[in-house]
Amino acid sequence: MLFNTINFAIFLPIVFLLYWFGTNKNLKFQNALLLVASYFFYACWDWRFMFLLMFSTLLDYFTGLKMQDADNQKRKKFWFWLSIIVNLGFLGVFKYYNFFAESFTEAVSRIGWQVSPLMIKVILPVGISFYTFHGLSYVIDIYKDRIKAERSFVDYAVFVSFFPLLVAGPIERATHLLPQIKKEKTFDYAKAVDGLRQILWGLFKKIVIADNCAELANQIFNNSVDYSGSTLVLGAIFFTFQIYGDFSGYSDIALGTARLFGIELLRNFAFPYFSRDIAEFWRRWHISLSSWFKDYLYIPLGGSKGGNWMRIRNTFIIFIVSGFWHGANWTFIAWGFLNALFIMPSIIMQTNRNNLEIVAKEKFLPTFKELLQMTITFGLAVFAWIFFRAENIGHALQYVSGIFKHPGSFLLLGIYWKYKTIITLISIFMLIEWFGREQQYAIASLGLKWKKPLRYAMYYAIIIAIFYFATGKEQQFIYFQF
């Protein structure tokens, strides 16, 4: 079930009304309802993979209790590694087995060996990377004595499968989400309205920005040999806004939806395209994944304690693993490697925490230096996204070489006229994002002090834009494939 469909528009109000008015505000009934609704939401994709989700949930719930009740460290370690190996094993088989098999076949064929490995002909279970990481963080935190094992299966299952975050995050932590699930709630009208505003903005990002950029980005990337370098640059920029509108739009809808049920999810985006260096970009892009890798991989590897060599090594590991997490393709690994290279100067010079506050805070415009820094950082991000979007490494290299081999004409008037609608939409979108950059999301406070007719006119304008600029095609969210 997609957030941007009529099915979800029917599903959400029904669950909302039952949650607040059909359960007598009984916490156990509310959580049971959320669990049933979440499983139904997931089953709408492919009911067969429900069993994988339920098995993963049962495994981590059971091993969590076993670790909690273990009478010695050896037994605790046994249950811990059982959960880790099985979880990563399922993820490896479904997501990476074919990739490794094909890579091995290609490698040995170069030395004259011919092998035909058994390939798995099954689609990737939607959301497997996300709910697997939910479970992994839970069992790791229990093993490290950061939390106690959850005794209520329903509460734990809601933590893993809460439908707003189930298929594309944010990647939650038990320390943050479980206490909210276990806490009795009262309906907060102001929070519900704020949630609806964030949902509205998320739909605008997805339908108006991402889906329209996708059509042009796909056209240019899929026929890249036919276009001039200037058009290829524009194609990469379109994809840059496509993936941002798509993924941050999903996150906005997820956070807004959760707020309707009195739950605050982790923030996943903080205006990353206004970053002044790559380190800041990664503090603002897919925040829940970046912080997950920091806490569960970077710090256990030694973090930054061992000097420059350890910082460099650990940074490359984090970014390459992050790239591999996104998918079984060398393009994702190349994308991660590029981002590691881009962040290296700030790691070596230890300037990676220079830009912690949002750019031009409490100011109308950035300084020239900040504008230059943002432009360079944005350019590096666009270049890396080429590898993320390309079909394979060869396609990525051909695309990049095409930019320089056939630079073409970059007359601003001509470029604008050809793509005037989407460029205008992106410009308006980024203007709203700029003026709302100090908020949790761009329109969080926009219009709150206006008179009601004017404020509602803004809402209606966004709704009209969503329907008017809808492509008419059902577009899945990019991160569903991860």
By the 8 A CB rule, do 336 and 319 touch?
yes
Q: Please tell me whether the peptide bond between 170 and the residue prior to it is cis, using omega within 30 degrees of 0.
A: yes
**DSSP one-letter code for 1:** -
Q: How many CA atoms lie within 13 A of 211 on its CB side?
A: 23
Radius of gyration of the CA atoms of the chain, in A: 23
What is the DSSP secondary-structure string of 116-138? -PPPP--PPPTTHHHHHHHHHHH
Q: Which helix (H) or strand (E) holds 413?
A: helix 412-418
End-to-end CA distance of the chain: 16
By the 8 A CB rule, do 351 and 315 touch?
no
406 as an active site residue: the answer is no
- Contacts by residues 342-348 (CB-CB < 8 Å, ≥ 24 positions apart): 342/278, 342/380, 342/384, 343/277, 343/278, 343/279, 343/282, 343/315, 343/319, 344/312, 344/315, 346/277, 346/278, 346/279, 347/279, 347/308, 347/311, 347/312, 347/315, 348/308, 348/311, 348/312
Q: Given 134, 176, 286, 326, which residue is catalytic?
A: 326
By the 8 A CB rule, do 378 and 282 touch?
no
SS3 assignment, position 252: helix
Distances (CA, A) of 307 to 279, 311, 349, 350: 18, 6, 11, 10
Dist. CA 239–CA 386, nearest whole Å: 8
Q: CB under 8 Å to 55, separation ≥6 — which residues?
A: none
Single out the residue of 261, 265, 263, 264 nearest to residue 14, CA to CA.
Answer: 261
By the 8 A CB rule, do 172 and 181 touch?
no
Total residue length of the chain: 482
Dist. CA 416–CA 404, nearest whole Å: 21
Catalytic residues, by residue number, are 326
